[in-house]
Amino acid sequence: MSLPFSVDSTDGLARCGSLITKHGKIDTPTFMPVGTAATVKAMMPSSIKETGAQIILGNTYHLMLRPGASRIRDLGGLHQFMGWQGPILTDSGGYQVMSLAQLRKLDDDGVTFRSHIDGSYHRLTPEKSIEIQLELGSNIVMAFDECTPFPISEEDAEKSMLLSMRWAERSKQSFEDQAGYGLFGIVQGSVFESLRVQSAKALLEIGFDGYAVGGLAVGEGHEKMMGVLKMTLPVLPADKPRYLMGVGKPRDLVAAVQNGIDMFDCVLPTRSGRTGQAFTKRGEVNLRNARHSNDPRPLDADCSCPACTQFSRAYLHHLVKSGEILGAMLLTWHNLKYYQDLMRGLREAIKNGLLGEFASLFNQEQKSGDIAPIK
């Protein structure tokens, strides 16, 4: 087994375990900060580690365009290039080709597109995507797929899913198996149960080190998302990690863990940090709001990040309103710490058989909202 995975504790459908890679152990459930272009924006690698993150995500599409996968390979691989020595997962580039690239032309073999950076022409196929990810030195490589848009007809969703399954088989054939590295397949099929089940079974026949649920967080909403998990996860093997791609609202994370998901990634905590939004146990806090301008309290008294232990809400408000870089750095650090603390809390709750109580308290506190200062 290239990527040993063990489930050590369960609570209902939820699992707590570990995934072993060449670059270290990953405790699950886990959240991966997104380092799209070989950097988690506004964070040093050492700062990322201090939040508790064990694995980060890079992206094939962005790195193939700039600075180029072969350049990164020649400079020692992505770990050396970006100064992160922990595990790295790379997205295959399929989603970015669909969402960012210009003049996209899709065919059964792959996709031709123009770069959103300079308009240059490029082509990605399952073979090329895997080649690039191997050049980067990714610990977890993702199969090349088409991210099905939403809403979509069942007929079109089936065509898209079947294309992704053909690409998944070619991705598997192109992958070079080695200890500490692995390849994940991606379940597609939009919100249609028969298609999701068909996709999951097709991936099982091919055989992967882990299985991702893709094509969600594209506008379908929380209830439909959870419905897709309920119809998909029972088909996936219990002895392999399950990864919910691109999903990142705290409410979604808790509910997805309750349904049996082990891994997550999302740009939400870092993007929000750069726009003045913080995540706390009492919900989201907008530091642009004038009510914070004279507030001497910490952002979250229970958080140990620098934003909360060293500065007041008033100062954070000042930084955000002034457009200071430090504001983005501190709030990004805080948000990533919040997400890692949430994951750690979920793991502990599962180990102790208290996930139901944990989720109930989480939802209660989130609904209570941020407490305004006493005047």
Which residues, 6 or more positions from 75, have their beta carbon under 8 angstroms from its beta carbon?
Answer: 81
Q: Is 265 part of the annotated catalytic residue set?
A: yes
Torsion of CA 278, 282, 286, 287, to 10 degrees: -70
Report the 10 Å Cβ neighbour count for 222.
14
Find the catalytic residue in 11, 91, 300, 341. Answer: 91
Say how far apart CA 195 and CA 186 lie, in whole Å: 13
- Per-residue DSSP letter, 373: P
Using CA atoms, how far residue 35 sits from 155, 187, 368, in Å, is 35, 23, 32
Is it true that the peptide bond before 373 is cis, omega within 30 degrees of 0? no
Cα separation of 245 and 126, whole Å?
18
- For the question of residue 252 being annotated catalytic, the response is no
Burial of 230 (0-12, 13-18, 19+ CB in 10 A): middle
Distance CA(104)–CA(360), nearest Å, equals 45
Encode burial over 273-307: b for 16+ CB neighbours within 10 A, e otherwise: bbebbbbbbeeebebeeeebeebeebbbeebebeb
State the residue for tokens 């940090």: 273
**Active-site position among 11, 252, 265, 370:** 265
Q: Concatenate the DSSP letters of all residues of 307-358 into one string.
A: HHHH--HHHHHHHHHHT-HHHHHHHHHHHHHHHHHHHHHHHHHHHTT-HHHH
Catalytic positions = 91, 265
